[in-house]
Copies of this chain bind each other. A is one copy, B any other.
Amino acid sequence: MTHQLLHLPKSVTVVEVGPRDGLQNEAEFVPTDQKIALIERLAETGLKRIEITSFVHPKAIPQLQDSEEVVKRIQGKPEVVYSTLVPNEKGLERALTAGVKEIGLFVSASETHNQKNVRMSIADSLKGFRNIAEKALASTVRMRGYIVTAFGCPYEGKIAPEKVEFIIDEYQALGIHEIALGDTTGMANPLMVSRLMERLRPRFTQAAPALHFHDTRGLALANILAALQQDIHIFDGAIGGLGGCPYAPGASGNVATEDLINMLEEMGIETGVDLRKLIECARYAGEIIKRDLSGHISRAGRVCWDGPETP
């Protein structure tokens, strides 16, 4: 048995997706002022990338019906990239009109999940991205492509790696800058992450790989540790552990951003994020959705190596 001392990257980029992936799952409408306040507070923590909303049809996700207003009214910081999800060409037009600088496209690696999520085949989703990508590139908008259910599907079970590879290739052919593999319902485990990323890493010839873990079975941080060892250094988190997928049974929230930042910073990995400010954001997120969130650090407090600290 080989003993492995951990080899980890020196710095990591954390993408905050709470305002979009988190809030989209909340039944009770969060007032626009509070969404904006949450985003502006998040931008004060040192986070450089925040996914703030989605230009879906208001009837599909009523929670995000105020996407134009959110984009237009936030007091943007020049060093922060605010991105929005874009499900189709109509969504892209709305995003461009609102002045968005980064968009997110998404397709499932599972045919069944894609059908349930966007009511079309994977092939049709990818076909639809062609015009979007062309227009986005012409407008110098940065593109992120999600591969949803990349580590397993609640309907289909195992997902063959070839299916993920196919979408990676398609995304790269479209000129997409970053590809985020999503563990949408928390089916991944660290060994699977290690093996899949070992296999996929050489395939990312143009786009940067990012990982998006839900903490459904408590494995998100362990999965991220395995991915760090594969030299992956872009990870998504949702403040407070907000989130979930409305079309996937058993899905719980994203990994809590503050728990992720704590793990990284405790291991000496640079994130540029102020954990104290992030804990305040997590508490504010709990206030606006009116329930306790799943993150640990906002309850336990930071580790204080010089003695006791009140959380």
Instruction: Write the residues of chain A forming the contact surface with B, with a CB cutoff of 8 angstroms.
Output: 1-9, 152, 154-158, 186-187, 189-192, 194-195, 198, 201, 215-219, 221-222, 224-226, 229-231, 249-250, 252, 256, 259, 262-263, 266-268, 295-297, 299-301, 303-308, 311
Question: Can you show 11 pairs from A to B with CB atoms below 8 A apart?
Answer: A1-B9, A3-B198, A3-B231, A4-B230, A5-B198, A6-B190, A156-B307, A218-B259, A218-B296, A219-B263, A222-B225
Provide the residues of chain B in CB contact with A8, threshold 8 Å: 191
Contact partner, A4, options B4, B300, B304, Cβ 8 Å? B4
Knowing A156-B307, A217-B296, A307-B156, the reply to whether A191 touches B250 (Cβ < 8 A) is: no
User: Contacting A308 at CB < 8 Å: which of B7, B155, B268, B306?
Assistant: B155
CB-CB under 8 A from A190, the residues of chain B are 6, 225, 263, 267
Q: How far is the CA of A296 from the CA of B195 in the complex (A)?
A: 24
Known: A152-B303, A215-B296. A229 touches B6 (CB 8 A): yes
Q: A217-B296, A222-B225 are in contact. Are A307 and B186 (CB under 8 A)?
A: no
Alpha-carbon distance A195/B7, docked complex (angstroms)? 11
- Inter-chain contacts of A225 with B (CB < 8 A): 190, 222, 225-226
Contact, CB under 8 Å: B7 / A300 = no
In whole angstroms, what is the CA distance A187 to B308 when docked?
A: 12
> Given A4-B194, A191-B268, A192-B267, 8 other A-B contacts at CB below 8 A?
A5-B194, A6-B190, A157-B305, A216-B300, A217-B262, A217-B263, A252-B296, A252-B300
Q: Is the pair B217, A157 in contact by a Cβ cutoff of 8 Å?
A: no
Name, among A201, A218, A225, A256, the residue most crowded by chain B CB atoms within 10 Å (CB to CB).
Answer: A218
Partner of A297 from the list B192, B217, B224, B304 (CB cut-off 8 Å) is B217
Nearest-Cβ distance from residue A177 to partner chain B, whole angstroms: 21
> A229 to chain B: which residues have CB within 8 Å?
3-4, 6
Measured CA separation A295–B215 after assembly (Å): 11
What residues of chain B lie closer than 8 Å to A1, measured between beta carbons? 7, 9, 231
Contact A306–B7 (Cβ < 8 Å): no
B189, A267: Cβ atoms closer than 8 Å: yes
Question: Which 8 pairs of residues, A with B, have the shortest CB-CB distance?
Answer: A218-B296, A189-B266, A191-B267, A4-B229, A157-B305, A6-B194, A221-B222, A222-B222
